[in-house]
Structure 1
Amino acid sequence: MASVRTARSKAPTLSFERTFTQAGHRYVAGCDEVGRGALAGPVSVGLVVIDLDAVKGLRGVRDSKLLSAAERTALVPRIRRWAAAYGVGHASAAEIDANGLMAALRAAGNRAWEQVLATVRPDAVILDGNHDWLSVRGQGSLFDTGPESTGCDSPVTTRIKADLDCLSVAAASVLAKVERDALMASLAREHPEYGWEVNKGYATAAHRAAIDGRGPSDYHRRSWRLGSTERPGVPGLEIGG
């Protein structure tokens, strides 16, 4: 398959990551999510930790959306060897329905965080976007539901389009995308009617039509508008990757 990357796309670098040495940081993690805008399946969060004292560039890595499936898959073992530590966490459609998208992203991110802690504790995290959904929330009042006391407690820096210009974040997006795509292909064998091996749970016309005809599965986000007909009080598709 030909690459979907355009000739004008710039390769991400380590320039922004290296600015963290000014604060005395050595281990910096790049973080990105995939599956945010899907109708079915989990949200998935990748973390890739680099050692600023030793890391070098890694050719071929881009934001996962700019690479073909074959290119992403080929990069996975190279990224794993290159990184000081890495992890991918998932939060299910049921968790999204029960707790909301931001809480589900935090849960998935914290599962990835626990994986990298088995090897190294990042001094700082670069998070793609403009909202910090990863950091541990402070303990709330008695009336708050589900306060979290464990998870990412290192400083998080948000950066818009970090997946395009930060190599560690782009690498994290590739790991998360490959793992989530494989999961959706596996689920497609259980529910072939929805075409998840092709659409990966996203809102294609064929996917919505299948939901209209057969109804949602246990892997659909039932709190969202899933089919082609709007339901009163149910939000439409979330925006995101």
Structure 2
Amino acid sequence: MSPARKPAPTLDVERDLARTGARYVAGMDEVGRGALAGPASVGVVVMDMARWVPGGEAGSSPSSSASESSTGSGVPVSEPWHGVRDSKALSAARRTALAPTIASWAAGSAVGHAQPAEIDAVGINAALHLAGLRALGAVRAAGTPVDALVLDGSYNWLDVAPVLGQDEDPVELPPLVRTLVRADALCVSVAAASILAKVERDALMAQLAHEHPEYGWDGNKGYGSASHRDALQRFGVTPQHRRSWNLGV
């Protein structure tokens, strides 16, 4: 008997936030937290909930595009995010196919990165804070506001005190940030953010693999596989390794 298929993520959490008055609701997720090499990456996907909340219950009246995707009651005719899941539940090919479709229904999206030297300097949580702010700054620079945000997990690393990147333009956090365990499996916006972050970081690791082919980063994506750890013993560390981590060398 095949295992039961996990339910698809929904807009339940995003709609709850929209009913508090938040029109632009974002989902955020990270990838690369536990890797030995490469950046920590954070994806963000913003949804204009005026398009997806029945009856225009979001922070302002429904946009004109709502009539193109909804019935007269404001209920969507179809779900353009069909197939979106937590990135860990999808094959690499499926993630790559889904990533470009997200722009067709998201109000904005971006991926921010914190580099290995930054992770070494401030630790992983502060580095995720930096990457998350960079992603938020990118969507805002493109003209998309963020009124509320759903962050995967139980810990709000976006609220970590900034200790690096002081030369960067300050980025304000959304008025409302909600943490939620398994948000990447439960929330459409967070699942989509996880896909974008995973696809972009995997592509970066494939590029870095050309510079350092000994470590197999095109396959292990910088994580601590046996072959990666063996290569560390044989060839030592590179500038892409997190030297503050237990690399075994």
What per-residue deviation string (whole Å, max 9, x for no partner) do you get for residues 146-186 of structure 1?
49682242121100000010000000000000000000000
Does 2:209 align with 1:188?
yes
Residue in structure 2 matched with residue 51 of structure 1 by the alignment? 48
2:181 maps to 160
State the SS of the aligned residue for 1:126.
Answer: strand
Partner of 2:27: 30
Does residue 15 in structure 1 map to residue 36 in structure 2?
no
TM-score, normalised with respect to structure 2 = 0.83
- How far apart in 2 are the matches of 1:50 and 1:191? 38
The amino acid across from 1:119 in the alignment is: G
Tell me whether 1:213 sits opposite 2:240 in the alignment.
no
Q: Give secondary structure in 1 for the equivalent of 2:42.
A: strand
The answer as to whether partners of 2:36 and 2:223 remain within 8 angstroms in 1 is yes
Q: Structure 1 counterpart of 2:173, which letter?
A: D
Structure whose alpha-carbon radius of gyration is higher: 2
Distance 1:22 1:103 in 2: 31
Cα contact 2:18–2:25 (8 A) shared by 1 = no
Find out whether 1:199 has 2:220 as its counterpart.
yes
Q: From 37, 46, 68, give the equivalent of 2:91.
A: 68
Q: Give the TM-score taking structure 1 as reference length.
A: 0.86
Q: Does 1:115 align with 2:112?
A: no
How far 1:22 moved relative to its partner?
2.2
How far off is 1:16 after superposition? 1.0
Is the contact made by 2:39 and 2:116 (CA closer than 8 Å) also made in structure 1? yes
| Structure 2 partner of 1:234 | none
Measure how far apart 1:137 and its partner are: 3.6
Q: Does 1:90 align with 2:113?
A: yes
In 2, Cα distance between the equivalents of 1:70 and 1:147? Answer: 35
Change (3 A) 1:209 1:69: same
Distance 1:221 1:176 in 2: 19
After superposition, the CA RMSD in angstroms is: 1.7
Task: Map Cα deviations across residues 111-133 of structure 1 (whole Å, 9 max, x no partner).
Answer: 10111102211100000001111
Runs of 4+ in structure 1 off by over 6 angstroms are none
Q: Give aligned-pair identity as a percent.
A: 57
Distance 1:87 1:162, change over 3 A: same
Contact 1:137 1:147 in 2 (8 A): no
Shift of 1:136: 6.7
Residue 150 of structure 1, aligned match among 170, 175, 185: 170
Structure 1 gaps of 5+ residues are 1-5, 139-144, 230-241
Counterpart residue type for residue 170 of structure 2: T
Structure 2 distance, partners of 1:152, 1:211, is 40
Q: Secondary structure at the match of 1:12?
A: coil
Q: In structure 2, what is the equivalent of residue 237 of structure 1?
A: none
Q: Distance in 1 between matches of 2:25 and 2:246?
A: 38
User: Which residue of structure 1 aligns with residue 67 of structure 2?
Assistant: none
Which secondary structure state, in structure 1, belongs to the residue aligned with residue 157 of structure 2?
coil
Aligned length: 217
CA shift for structure 1 position 217: 0.7
Q: Does 1:105 align with 2:102?
A: no
